[in-house]
């Protein structure tokens, strides 16, 4: 899928990629090791996406959208739940009895979060911001995803300035670990 454009197009593309990863996971037989690799790919995508939203989207929602503080706080709460499930999945083998249960729970939460963003948050943001501001946010989100962590860190800060200060350093460590272990490679 192509990335680019304003923040809404960028994040919607991410959402479709997440949907496809869930479909690929479900297409594999229960207990198959490919499910573990696909969950690793899903984790990388979700963490990078979430960090970029936390760094740039939600501060913009707070600033520009009426009721934005409440909306951003709800989205951050959704992220915290999903990140904890990703952390719980991190050490499990695909044949662990909890693995499929956690994946199903994660899919339900992430699907609801995606639906909420696309049906409520994105239209509100589009109405509150200029096309130029949305394009600038899209650029910021794409840049943030390049340096974002690739592993769940539930206790890390999820709001500025903490996430903007620590995120790139944690991301560097995560990508080094991924390189050494081969995590995230097909």
User: pLDDT class for 139, splitting at 50, 70, 90?
Assistant: very high
- Which of 122, 113, 55, 57 has the alpha carbon at shortest distance from 82? 113
Residue recorded with tokens 């994105």:
122
- The larger pLDDT score, comparing residue 125 to residue 163, is at 125
User: pLDDT class for 162, splitting at 50, 70, 90?
Assistant: very low
Residue 147: predicted pLDDT: 85
User: pLDDT class for 174, splitting at 50, 70, 90?
Assistant: low
Mean pLDDT of 68-93: 93
C-alpha span between 69 and 41 (Å, rounded): 31
Residue 176 has pLDDT above 90, yes or no: no
Residue 93: predicted pLDDT: 95
* Structure confidence by residue, pLDDT tens digits, 94-118: 999 899 999 999 999 999 999 999 9
List of domains in the chain: 7-180 (1.20.120)
- The larger pLDDT score, comparing residue 142 to residue 171, is at 142
Residue 172: predicted pLDDT: 46
| Other residues' Cβ atoms within 10 Å of the Cβ of residue 139 | 15
Q: Mean pLDDT, the chain, as a whole number? A: 86
Q: Which long-range contacts (CB under 8 A, 24 or more apart) does 115-120 make?
A: 116/74, 116/75, 116/78, 117/11, 117/15, 117/75, 118/12, 118/15, 120/71
* Structure confidence by residue, pLDDT tens digits, 17-70: 999 999 999 999 999 999 999 999 999 999 999 999 999 999 999 999 999 999
| Other residues' Cβ atoms within 10 Å of the Cβ of residue 63 | 13
């Amino acid at each position: 899928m192509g990335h680019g454009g304003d923040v809404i197009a960028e994040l919607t593309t991410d959402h479709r990629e997440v949907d496809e990863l869930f479909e690929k996971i479900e297409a594999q037989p229960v207990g198959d090791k490919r499910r573990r690799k696909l969950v690793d790919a899903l984790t990388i995508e979700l963490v990078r996406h979430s960090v970029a939203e936390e760094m740039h989207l939600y501060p913009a929602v707070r600033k520009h959208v009426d009721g934005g503080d409440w909306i951003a706080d709800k989205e951050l709460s959704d992220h915290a739940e999903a990140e904890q499930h990703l952390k719980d999945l991190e050490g499990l083998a695909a044949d662990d009895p909890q693995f499929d249960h956690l994946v199903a729970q994660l899919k339900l939460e992430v699907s609801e979060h995606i639906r909420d963003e696309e049906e409520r948050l994105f239209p509100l943001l589009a109405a509150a911001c200029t096309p130029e501001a949305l394009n600038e946010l899209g650029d910021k989100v794409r840049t943030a995803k390049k340096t974002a962590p690739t592993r769940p860190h539930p206790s890390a800060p999820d709001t500025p300035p903490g996430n903007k200060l620590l995120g790139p350093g944690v991301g560097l460590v995560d990508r080094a670990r991924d390189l050494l272990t081969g995590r995230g490679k097909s």
